[in-house]
Structures are given as structure tokens and as C-alpha cells.
A and B are shown apart, each in its own frame.
Chain A
Amino acid sequence: AQTVTQSQPEMSVQEAETVTLSCTYDTSESDYYLFWYKQPPSRQMILVIRQEAYKQQNATENRFSVNFQKAAKSFSLKISDSQLGDAAMYFCAYNGYGQNFVFGPGTRLSVLP
């Protein structure tokens, strides 16, 4: 079974600075998808960024980018120019074709003014 690990229960960053959230996963499959979801106090899970495993190029969405290392099974999220609105729980998730999404335990990000 696939597992997702996030080793940082909590992180903090100064407003306008850069922060990196870590994620590792375990799978025997070669084709899959990885996601970062954000969950603010409202409970609504919001997709931040996604990466297809067959693509070597790291995904980027505005201030959010990933460092995908397939061989190491690592998928970190970098948030640049952090904003107060970025404060939330961040979950790393794995999805294999035709399977459920497997989530990590989450990292609580605080943004300090």
C-alpha cells in the first residue's frame, strides 16, 4: 500500500520570505500523480499544485513550485513571497490511476507579519 509522510508537523515563515514543506512517499508504481492541498480553518481543501510522475519538469503555479525527485520519492513544496493568506494546513497527496487519494498527516504553516 502507498504511504505519504510529512516530517514537519509545523512550520513558520516570515511574510515575503520563502518556505519549503517536505513530503516523501512510498510506491511500487511508475505512473502516478502527486498533489499539494491547502486546508484553511474553513475546512475547504483547495488544490495548490499537482505533478505527473512521468514528467521530469517540476510543476509551478505562480508563487508555488515543487521539487519532484522521483528516484528519491520526494515531493517538496516551495512557497515564495509568503503571504498571510498562505497560513493553513498543507497536505501532500498521492494518487495512482483508479485508486483513492492517500494523504500525509499534514504540515501546519504559520506566516508571521
Chain B
Amino acid sequence: GAGVSQTPSNKVTEKGKYVELRCDPISGHTALYWYRQSLGQGPEFLIYFQGTGAADDSGLPNDRFFAVRPEGSVSTLKIQRTERGDSAVYLCASSLTGGGKLAEAFFGQGTRLTVV
């Protein structure tokens, strides 16, 4: 597609359930980023992929959060045993490279996760 696509756009789940959030980056982009954004705040870094591997996962808040990018394209963010505090907008972005002159990050429209 022409841009970064995130599905679903909205997800409501019950506390304790497992959820998966999907990100389709722009074709050819090697870098992929996940962020979490609470209402009225800036995006908070979760994890950054360069190709298939996680170059930096220091932002994952705890071991309930996990992300994969098995073929270096689509990525899935997985949250186990969801808690009400996980409610936020989860943003995905991709970049042609991991930095340098082509460092611009292109964002999807996010997935709004609500844990009830």
C-alpha cells in the first residue's frame, strides 16, 4: 500500500485477555517502530526493528509485551494478560533506513486499545 497500515483501528478487550495489533509498513522500509500514546501525551517508544531483528526493545514496559517481525515486513505487537493501564493508542511507524538522510518516519493511524 501507499502508507503504513494498522489493524484493527479500534480494539476493545476485557482485562486479562490477549491481543494482537498488526502493522503493515511501507514496502521496502527496513526500519519499523512501535510507540504507545496516552491521551494528551507524546508517543512513548516501545520497540524498534531493523529488518527482522529487534534493534532496541528497551521501551517494552514488561514481559507481557512482545513484538515480532518474522519476514522483515509486517509486524505484530502482542500483549498478554491485558490490564486497564494498557489502554492507549498504539502507533506504528516505518522508515526507509534506520537513520541518516532518509530517517523520516511515516506513521500509521494507530490502533486505539481499550481494556475494560
A positions within 8 Å CB-CB of B: 4, 6, 33, 35, 37, 42-47, 50, 52, 91, 93, 95-106
Q: Which of B48, B106, B109 contacts A43 (CB 8 A)?
A: B109
B99 touches A97 (CB 8 A): yes
Given A45-B93, A101-B105; A95-B42 close (CB under 8 Å): no
Q: Give the docked Cα–Cα distance between A97 and B85 (Å).
A: 32
Q: Give the docked Cα–Cα distance between A103 and B44 (Å).
A: 7
- Chain B residue with the shortest CB-CB distance to A35: B104
Q: Give the docked Cα–Cα distance between A60 and B35 (Å).
A: 28
Q: Which residues of A contact B98 (CB under 8 A)?
A: 97-99
The A/B interface has a contact count, at CB < 8 Å, of 68
Q: A43-B110, A47-B105 are in contact. List 10 more A-B contacts (CB 8 A).
A: A45-B91, A50-B103, A95-B99, A96-B99, A98-B55, A99-B48, A101-B43, A102-B45, A103-B42, A105-B41
A55 to chain B, nearest CB (A): 11
Q: Which residues of B contact A99 (CB under 8 A)?
A: 48, 56, 98-99
B107 touches A105 (CB 8 A): no
Q: Give the docked Cα–Cα distance between A98 and B59 (Å).
A: 15
A64 to chain B, nearest CB (A): 15
B107 touches A33 (CB 8 A): no
A104 touches B42 (CB 8 A): yes
Q: Which residues of B contact A52 (CB under 8 A)?
A: 101
- Chain B residue with the shortest CB-CB distance to A33: B103
- Chain A residue with the shortest CB-CB distance to B101: A52
Q: Which residues of A contact B55 (CB under 8 A)?
A: 98
Q: Which of A93, A97, A104 contacts B100 (CB 8 A)?
A: A97
